[in-house]
A and B are shown apart, each in its own frame.
Chain A
Amino acid sequence: MERFAGLLDALVYTRSRNAKLKLVADYLRDTRDPDRGWALAALTEALDFPAVKPSTVRALLMERVDPVLFQLSREYVGDTAETASLLWPDPPAFGTPPTVAEAVDTLTHMTRLNAMVELAGLLDRLDAAGRFALLKMATGAMRIGISARLAKLAFAQAFAVSIDDVEEYWHGQMPPYRALFAWAADGAAPPVAEHVPHFRPFMLAQPFDGMEITMAEFAAEWKWDGIRVQIVHVASEVGGETRLYSRSGDDISKAFPEIVNAMRLPCVLDGELMVRGNHQGGAEGGAASFNALQQRLGRKTVSARMLADYPAFVRLYDMLSNGADDLRPLRWEQRRLALESLVPRLDPARFDISELIPVATLAELAAFRERARDDEIEGVMLKRRDSAYLAGRRAGLWYKWKRDPLLVDCVLMYAQRGSGKRSSFYSDFTFGCWTDDPDRGGELLPVGKAYFGFSDEELKWLDSYVRRHTVNRFGPVRETDRSLVLEIAFDSVHVSKRHKSGVAMRFPRIHRIRTDKPANEADLIATLRSMIRDAPL
């Protein structure tokens, strides 16, 4: 338990993703079974101990600490498990601390009746860091930023196995994942995962930079603006199971039950998850803006109201398997035929196919791409007709050709320090546009925030500019003298009730620093508003 507690603490204080990966990988490599498997399950919040609730921990503490002092401490520390770990009196002498496996075993067998006594018994054998780890594990609220995908990457890194294999074998394995460790660490045969709807890594596209290509070798389709998903259904004697995965490989099935429930055929499909509407591509396009989809993202459960107001569907791009047949080695055009013959058998309310754009030359495609703005579509895709479905971003096979961004001139208003490597730089910029002509009393209102788009050299310059032009400080934020014009690039702009300016930009980034332009010549909010294409949902 001490090593696990040490890992937890290190993860709390580490912000970089690579450093987190290394910490978890080192732990998995250097710790024995079954502790490492249980620890992995705890980190990904895959454990549940119904007998232990935060209220159990509070009640336990109240028996030993004055309630007023507990409350004052809890308010200061801001976390019940941490407060309890610090307040719990050290025993006169520590016995042998429990292993992670022993702690899991004890927690699993606890009942509401004996939880207080059993938990106290474990706490008495641990120091403050160990108590924190135990209580976090017991109450299942790690909040330490280790997603299932990150844990798998760390696992792959620890044992130098391929992440694709880890994805294939992981699902259906239960903590403490002995068979997985035996395979990755000791070279045993991989665990077989039949009847499990596991994730396959996505094939990704490179940006298209206008190079010469022979259009006959490529198929073109619209680049829809939702989130890329994979839907997997496997059949079994008990009726089968469907899961929906995000691009990062995280299971988002619970947030989109209407999609999961609508899939009844054993297959693996790749597509764009969107909400019904007539924003992208008009009534014919059938998809609402990304803004509408955002209402549905990041939720663990979804209300009936949400389902009715923002109905989701998947626009299908590709087919990775058909029943037990893996189609990934096939050519794109063969997979496309399989997909076209599958789609009529699916619920049309939840699934449709991404239509191909009928073009013979790149020039024709360029013309279509120009239209993308009017249709509020992100751009176009190019896929080599003979390409197999390969994980990751492979050169020369798939291209994304986004339409040119919209541009607007804004005035820098506030700057905030970044985090990690950028923690000493003012690197998050809030900028505004004028409510009216500044010479007629117009004011600046914030319209957006950007923290990329600039080079390292430009960042240094911006940081220094902010420091020299500060007029006010609010904690980590500096207000500047509103003298610098930034040309902001963005993909689209939407009506927003949350912002005083009434608009919200999608994907804003700093395109150019316009030292040549005086602040009073920056754009009006009305200019931004005129770029809004939101149609009613």
Chain B
Amino acid sequence: MVKDFSWLRAEPHGIYIVPASCWIDPAQPVDSALITHGHADHARGGHGTVMATPATLAIMALRYGDQALARTIEYGERLRLPGGVDATFLPAGHVLGSAQILLEHAGERILVTGDYKRRRDPTCPPFTAVPCDILVTEATFALPVFRHPPVEHEIARLIDARAANPNRCLLLGAYALGKAQRIIAELRLAGYSDPIWLHGALERMCRLYEAFGASLGELRLVSEARKDDLAGQIVLCPPGSLNDRWSRRLPDPLTAMASGWMRVRQRARQRNVELPLIISDHADWDELTGTIDEIDPVETWITHGREDALIRWCALHGRRARALALAGYDDEDD
């Protein structure tokens, strides 16, 4: 039998598993959904049955309230879907609870990576590479200019900047789910033991991470600080609050932002950032191309990001590839 993989289809608002009548990360409410991770553009509320890792379900419950029919899937557990499709959730190394989904049907194997990275992350288990026929990959940072430096290097720059500016508040913009907690955990690993101050919007997610075992040390809320308390302190907030009214209460803030986009100077300038930290929860160019090489699939499908460049790389290396042109994924904040 010729392998045709027609049982998995890319629709404008998600990946559809035809025999199982089930979606992966759909952008609209559906009856049955597999969710790779808790970021809002992948995990939306309002579905019927939701299948995801315990941490992802906890994150969704925090954001949207309890899901109607939530089914917990552990990493490595094989889930039997209708229509003879098996789904296995594997660590993606992206954020707490993030999973790749390995789909098996009629002897064919398709691996959907979701968002992933290959770097160390103290807050979630590392990406597991498994063999497959079709690799469905993200391409957020798929340009050869994106090479993320080692995270230790960027954390050291943050700690140095704080030491060099004892009278300023070091205000760091970081995505509320994943990036903020990873940076706190990395700061702790680097020996930073002072309290870390949070914008209120980050608190509940940090507490959830702690409930799942992350060691974040002493966290305090900016809303409970006097202005003088914050000079020489590290304060985390969502990127949108960096230049908003909220930040006026801080003493002479030195604005930092942690994101893979900070590699490009103009992007940092647009954000009014003084200290751009290149820390991303996505695979960089070398990780994306290296993962394709390592898994060595028959064909590579590309979900979202800079797919032109990754398709070009595949062509240069004699690999079959195509873009799925999914809508609705937002990569701006990472």
Residue-by-residue, is A394-429 near B (CB-CB < 8 Å gives 1, otherwise 0)?
A: 000000000000000000000001010001100000
Q: Are A12 and B309 in contact, with the CB atoms below 8 A?
A: no
Nearest CB in chain A to that of B311: its residue: A68
State whether the Cβ of A65 lies closer than 8 Å to any Cβ in chain B.
yes
Q: Please, how many residues of chain B have a CB less than 8 angstroms from a CB on the other chain?
A: 27
Residue-by-residue, is B268-289 near A (CB-CB < 8 Å gives 1, otherwise 0)?
A: 1100111110000000000000
Nearest CB in chain A to that of B309: its residue: A72
Q: Which of A82-90, A185-193, A261-269, A529-537 is the contact stretch?
A: A82-90
Enumerate B101-158 residues with CB–CB distance to A below 8 Å.
143-147
Q: Which of B33-41, B53-61, B88-96, B241-249 is the contact stretch?
A: B241-249
Nearest CB in chain A to that of B243: its residue: A423
Enumerate A1-26 residues with CB–CB distance to B below 8 Å.
9, 12-15
State whether the Cβ of A76 lies closer than 8 Å to any Cβ in chain B.
yes
Enumerate B291-334 residues with CB–CB distance to A below 8 Å.
306, 308-309, 312-313, 316
Partner of B309, one of A69, A79, A424: A69
Partner of B306, one of A66, A72, A423: A72
State whether the Cβ of A77 lies closer than 8 Å to any Cβ in chain B.
yes
Residue-by-residue, is A317-350 near B (CB-CB < 8 Å gives 1, otherwise 0)?
A: 0000000000000000000000000000000000
Query: Inside 8 A of B146's CB, which chain A residues have their CB?
Result: 86
Residue with the highest number of chain B CB atoms closer than 10 Å, among A15, A419, A424: A424
State whether the Cβ of A73 lies closer than 8 Å to any Cβ in chain B.
yes
Q: Are A83 and B312 in contact, with the CB atoms below 8 A?
A: no
Counting chain A residues whose Cβ lies within 8 A of the other chain, the interface size class is 20 to 34
Partner of B263, one of A14, A86, A423, A424: A86
In the assembly, what is the distance between CA of A466 and CA of B147, in Å?
41
Nearest CB in chain A to that of B268: its residue: A13
Query: Inside 8 A of A417's CB, which chain B residues have their CB?
Result: 243
Query: Inside 8 A of B309's CB, which chain A residues have their CB?
Result: 68-69, 72-73
Partner of A424, one of B144, B147, B245: B245
Query: Inside 8 A of A423's CB, which chain B residues have their CB?
Result: 243, 272
Residue with the highest number of chain A CB atoms closer than 10 Å, among B145, B248, B274, B313: B145
Given contacts A69-B313, A424-B244, A424-B247, contact A82 B265 (CB under 8 A): yes
In the assembly, what is the distance between CA of A450 and CA of B144, in Å?
43
State whether the Cβ of A78 lies closer than 8 Å to any Cβ in chain B.
yes
Partner of B145, one of A12, A14, A76, A424: A76
Q: Are A78 and B266 in contact, with the CB atoms below 8 A?
A: yes
Enumerate A72-102 residues with CB–CB distance to B below 8 Å.
72-73, 76-79, 82-83, 86-87
Nearest CB in chain A to that of B308: its residue: A72
Query: Inside 8 A of A69's CB, which chain B residues have their CB?
Result: 143-144, 309, 312-313
Given contacts A66-B312, A69-B313, A79-B266, contact A13 B274 (CB under 8 A): yes
Residue-by-residue, is B15-41 near A (CB-CB < 8 Å gives 1, otherwise 0)?
A: 000000000000000000000000000
Given contacts A73-B144, A83-B145, contact A419 B264 (CB under 8 A): no
CB of A428 to closest CB in B, whole Å: 14
Query: Inside 8 A of A79's CB, which chain B residues have their CB?
Result: 265-266
Nearest CB in chain A to that of B256: its residue: A13
Query: Inside 8 A of B316's CB, which chain A residues have their CB?
Result: 66
Query: Inside 8 A of B263's CB, which chain A residues have their CB?
Result: 86
Q: Are A12 and B306 in contact, with the CB atoms below 8 A?
A: no
Nearest CB in chain A to that of B275: its residue: A13
Nearest CB in chain B to that of A85: its residue: B145
Query: Inside 8 A of B248's CB, which chain A residues have their CB?
Result: 424
Query: Inside 8 A of A424's CB, which chain B residues have their CB?
Result: 243-245, 247-248
CB of A103 to closest CB in B, whole Å: 20
CB of A326 to closest CB in B, whole Å: 44
In the assembly, what is the distance between CA of A66 and CA of B310, in Å?
12
In the assembly, what is the distance between CA of A353 and CA of B273, in Å?
50
CB of B241 to closest CB in A, whole Å: 10
In the assembly, what is the distance between CA of A76 and CA of B265, in Å?
11
Query: Inside 8 A of A65's CB, which chain B residues have their CB?
Result: 144
In the assembly, what is the distance between CA of A419 and CA of B272, in Å?
8
CB of B110 to closest CB in A, whole Å: 27
Query: Inside 8 A of A83's CB, which chain B residues have their CB?
Result: 145
CB of B73 to closest CB in A, whole Å: 37
Q: Are A86 and B145 in contact, with the CB atoms below 8 A?
A: yes
Nearest CB in chain A to that of B264: its residue: A77
Nearest CB in chain B to that of A132: its residue: B265
Q: Are B143 and A72 in contact, with the CB atoms below 8 A?
A: yes
A9-B265, A82-B265, A419-B272 known; 11 new pairs, CB 8 Å cut-off, are A13-B268, A68-B312, A69-B313, A72-B312, A76-B143, A76-B264, A78-B264, A86-B145, A86-B263, A423-B272, A463-B245
Q: List 26 A-B contacts (CB under 8 A).
A: A12-B265, A12-B268, A12-B269, A13-B269, A13-B273, A14-B274, A15-B272, A65-B144, A66-B312, A68-B309, A69-B143, A72-B143, A72-B309, A73-B143, A73-B145, A76-B143, A76-B145, A78-B264, A79-B265, A79-B266, A86-B147, A87-B144, A87-B145, A423-B272, A424-B245, A424-B248
What residues make up the interface of A, taking CB atoms closer than 8 Å to B?
Answer: 9, 12-15, 65-66, 68-69, 72-73, 76-79, 82-83, 86-87, 417, 419, 423-424, 463
